[in-house]
Amino acid sequence: MSELDELAFERRKQHAARVFVVATAGMLLVAAVVGYVVYRNRPATDTPYEVARPQVSTPSNRPAAAPAAPTRGPSVGAETAGGRTPAGAMQLELHATSACRIDAQVDGQPALNRVLRSGERTAFTVQESAVLSIGDSAAVELFIDGRRARTLGRRGEARTVRITRETIADYLR
């Protein structure tokens, strides 16, 4: 090969290497943009469907003192037969302003694990503590003993909160 042929070959080789680097960088940029768009547009909840609760009750076999069930309209709580909250207990109400996944444990026992739809409400009577895992913090209004609590977070932000008599002041306005 002549020196001119070798020089042309080296130039083609360098050009091919540059094209490869630019193409690789372009693909990485496209992958980063796609990843960002997918991350930003992910649903606010982990799953778009309801998860079956361990204790399912139907109207025909529901016990008299069933746990609080989500409802539309006025809230239905897990109150005592006399219609009052037991002494020392807290009454928590959750009002969904848009669809939101909620997992609630009351006094160490599972109380709710599903998506509340916009307008649904549920209430719990808490003796010691409640742990609420909320898929979209801004999609739920929390009321403690009838008083509206502060917003638990920003739109799309998942939060887990533990509410006890000692931490109520942290949540009330």
Per the confidence metrics, is the pTM higher than 0.75?
no
Count the neighbouring beta carbons within 10 Å of the beta carbon of residue 54: 7
Instruction: Give, as one character, the DSSP assignment of residue 138.
Output: G
Strand partners, 125: 91
Strand ordering across the sheet containing 159-164: 109-116, 100-106, 129-134, 159-164
pLDDT in tens, 62-106: 444 444 444 443 333 444 334 555 777 899 999 999 999 999 999
The answer to whether the Cα torsion of 50, 51, 55, 58 is positive or negative is: positive
**98-128 residue pLDDT tens:** 999 999 999 999 999 999 898 999 999 999 9
Instruction: Give me the chain's average pLDDT, please.
Output: 78
| Contact status, residue 124 vs residue 116, Cβ threshold 8 Å | no
